[in-house]
Amino acid sequence: MDSSSLLNQSEWQQTLAGSHGKAALLFGRPEAEQKKLGYFHTLREICQQPWTWLRTSEQMIAARDSLQEHLEGIKNLVFTGSGSSEYAGDCVRLPVRNELGISVEVASGGALVMQGVKALPASRPGLLVSLARSGNSPESAGAVKILVDSDPNFRHLVVTCNEAGSLAKTWKHHKGTLVVALPPETNDESLVMTSSFTNLTLAARFLGLLGQPDVYRRLCALQSRVCQGLISTHFDTFGKIASRDFRRAVFLGSGTRHAASREASLKMLEMTSGRIPTIAESYLGLRHGPMSFVHEDTLIVCQLSCDPATRAYELDLLSELNRKKLGLSTVVIGEDVPDSVPRIADEVIQCSGLAELGDDEGAIVFVVVAQLLAFFRCLEEGLRPDSPSEGGVIHRVVESFPLHTVT
């Protein structure tokens, strides 16, 4: 980040500490104590996101010519990644598909490693877009190698937060492969992906707007402002919600926000070391079997659509949950949320700017809400957000495993 951005971020953290008791406590401790308590990296990586998004947008725009050449003539595009990286592609799949006018799909790194070319669309030429934080997981480099060896008509684009990772270094100079490295501060040091997830999502989003760089720049700037406003207004609120006596959580979203709910659900699961079981569902999907997951100890977290027709379906579902007295409480994120929606125990996060962003582009805000809820719940559970996995069950980079030949 340039010096002015760093100054702004530092000033904003001071403003947070001046207006929110939890921010004052967390940021007010000496750095050494924050690291000892295990939240130093995660807290900053969540709060730095409005600034990193501006850096990432400029980085992607700078690579525009190479990206346009790489996408020329493709008949389909496939986003791939593992875990959060897979969900990042899913968060932009619909708008990118509509803008490019071609098939846009998401395939997990594991599916590509296990199924090879069979996991890809049939038409050629195609483009595989690998999204990765470190680029050091077995699937990351393995999936690209399998497909490079078996299908020369599939091009490859690597978008990574780590230019020194195996994925970037291995394929940087390979014909038919383009590597774009995001700013180094997006390469989270925390176990869980926060800043890396949202920046990979915004980087992937540019692929649908290559012909409109100014539109993309304005979009990222608006998302940055909305996110900054969300955190500066509701920081302590997230801590209050996380302190409630819930033992499981449901994350709901429609369309692109359903993809975001998958990442939101994963954040709570990871950062509580599995102590809080979670599911992600669409509003209408919950009406079926998954509604059986909603018990009296369940927190329901949802983002309301700005589209009137979609919102009507969502409000119907919330009314049904209220009528059946399901769940401990509901957290509703939206703009102009009707007063009739919340119950006494519910919380409404009014987020100015969501309507201007629209449903597709506002999905990223849902993820930031989930990151903060998971961060505070991690602290409530007595865990360390920078390394919340008890007994080292999961790691920042997935442990190595053998790659078997796909025929």
Q: What are phi and psi of 249, to 5 degrees?
A: -145, 145
Taking 90 as the threshold, does the pLDDT of residue 79 lie above it? Answer: yes
Q: How do residues 233-259 score in pLDDT, each as one tens digit?
A: 999 999 999 999 999 999 999 999 999
79 with 104: CB under 8 angstroms?
yes
**Contacts (Cβ under 8 Å, ≥6 apart) of 103:** 75, 76, 77, 97, 121, 123
From CA 269, how far away is CA 262, in angstroms rounded? Answer: 11
What is the average per-residue pLDDT within 101-127? 92
Average pLDDT over residues 11-33: 87
pLDDT digits (tens, 9 = 90+) for 178-220: 999 999 999 999 999 999 999 999 999 999 999 999 999 999 9
Q: How far apart are CA 259 and CA 84, in angstroms?
A: 10
The mean pLDDT of 7-21, rounded to a whole number, is: 76
- Alpha-carbon distance of 384 to 40, in angstroms, equals 10
Share the mean pLDDT of the chain. Answer: 91
The answer to whether residue 91 scores a pLDDT higher than 90 is: yes
Q: At residue 395, does pLDDT exceed 50?
A: no
CB 398 within 8 A of CB 138: yes
* Residue 171: predicted pLDDT: 82
Q: What 3 state SS string does the chain have?
A: CCHHHHHHHHHHHHHHHHHCHHHHHHHHCCHHHHHHHCCHHHHHHHHCHHHHHHHHHHHHHHCHHHHHHHHCCCCEEEEEECCHHHHHHHHHHHHHHHHHCCEEEEEEHHHHHHHHHHHCCCCCCEEEEEEECCCCCHHHHHHHHHHHHHCCCEEEEEEECCCCCHHHHHHCCCCCEEEEECCHHHCCCCCCCCHHHHHHHHHHHHHHCCCCHHHHHHHHHHHHHHHHHHHHHHHHHHHHHHCCCCCEEEEECCCHHHHHHHHHHHHHHHHCCCCCCEEEECHHHHCCHHHHHCCCCEEEEEECCCCHHHHHHHHHHHHHHHHCCCCCEEEEEECCCCCCCCCCCCEEEECCCHHHHCHHHHHHHHHHHHHHHHHHHHHHCCCCCCCCCHHHCCCCCCCCCCCCCCC
CB contact at 8 A, 169 and 140: no
Residue 6 has pLDDT above 70, yes or no: no
Q: The tokens of 380 are what?
A: 């409530």
- Give the per-residue pLDDT at 398: 52
pLDDT bracket for residue 148 (50, 70, 90): confident
Rounded Cα distance, 51 and 225, in Å:
9
Q: pLDDT grade, residue 354 (50/70/90)?
A: very high
Q: How far apart are CA 251 and CA 370, in angstroms?
A: 9
Q: Quick one: pLDDT at residue 4?
A: 46
Measured distance CA(375)–CA(230) in Å, rounded: 16
For residues 38-49, give the mean pLDDT: 96
pLDDT at residue 3, rounded to an integer: 40
CA pair distance 116, 295, nearest whole angstrom: 40
Q: pLDDT grade, residue 11 (50/70/90)?
A: confident
- For residue 139, pLDDT over 80 is answered with no
Higher pLDDT, 104 or 170: 104
The yes-or-no verdict on residue 2 having pLDDT over 50 is no
Q: Name all domains of the chain by residue range, CATH numbers in brackets.
A: 12-43+219-391 (3.40.50.10490), 50-211 (3.40.50.10490)
Cis peptide leading into 125, omega within 30 of 0?
Answer: yes
226: nearest Cα among 198, 258, 254, 247: 198
- C-alpha torsion sign, points 149, 152, 158, 164: positive
> Does pLDDT of 329 surpass 80?
yes
Question: What is the arithmetic mean of pLDDT over 41-50?
Answer: 96
400 falls in which pLDDT band (50, 70, 90)? low
Residue 330: is its pLDDT beyond 90?
yes
What does the pLDDT read at residue 403?
Answer: 64
Q: Which residues contact 36 (CB under 8 A, 6 or more apart)?
A: none
